[in-house]
A and B are shown apart, each in its own frame.
Chain A
Amino acid sequence: MGKVAVIQYPGSNCDLDALEILRDVVKAKTDLVWHKDLAHEDYDAYVLPGGFSYGDYLRAGAIAATSPSLRIVKEAAEGGKPVLGICNGFQILVEAGLLPGAVLRNSSLRFVCTWTRLRVETTRTPFTKRANAGQVLEIPIAHNEGRYYLDKEQIPELERNQQIVFRYVNEKKEATEAGNPNGSIDNIAGVCNQKGNVMGLMPHPERASIPVLSLDNQTDGRVIFDSMMRTLHGPEA
């Protein structure tokens, strides 16, 4: 029970990091699965890892979004299974239409690799249920195309549906321009679908889940994977 697939695309490069955290840290039964080998009904949750699938050609995630694996992920999502997209995985889910909006080039036109503060905006998703609303997680980003975009008039609906999961904030927990590393609209760092079971975020929780990887030994990213474990295994997980 509770088997997780980390889906590997040509150009994925955070797949092994995600695998290690899932398998060795939160002790989830996890397989690394080549995208063409993903079969129906084999898994209870899916993780689309970071990287540069298909070289980011056309648009980050646009080509991987046409992989047959996405049809399986889409069916799983419709069935209520948890689906997590990290960085390029988030871009793929957006391009495949599983999450709203678009992820555009950073407003600085630079690749940004830095620690960010994320405010948890909702704990209703399978990936945030062990966090507290308003809690701030320190998790790093590393991307060139991370500027979340949606037409301004669609933001209130997203807000109403509790689809905004994380916002970039400053040290006072405020969603200011200074706290926004890439120009994302409304400081949005992560969103979910209406049901809440599909979530994507640009930051890399797998890079903040063991003390040795963090600046001050914190493991803020773990709560995302711990939440997923609780979803898969119940409160004892």
Chain B
Amino acid sequence: MGDKQGMTAKVTVEDVERVAELANLELKPEETPAMLRDLNAILEYVAELNELDTSGVTPLAQVSELVGGLLDGSGKSQLRADQTLPSLDRATVMAQAPETDQVFFKVPKVIER
């Protein structure tokens, strides 16, 4: 990670397939060319950020610090005490599952036996 290469990369079919695999997406063969074209157009556009010298700028991942401490100006933690509270009951949750034995979610086999 982080070998400092700039935004000059041109995405290839192999890149799209690799990224799709990372994202657990399976593109149909007919989807790939359009995706390749769009990704390259977008990446070419976002490369405008290269014009800016951002050395020494601390990345801003989340804006709560700008709103004032943890959002109330006091800097006090918003996190509640770590205590067990009731959660949804199993039957309610399992009612939404595509496949279940009412105790567990059922999925196709993970490994060959």
**A and B held together in a complex:** no
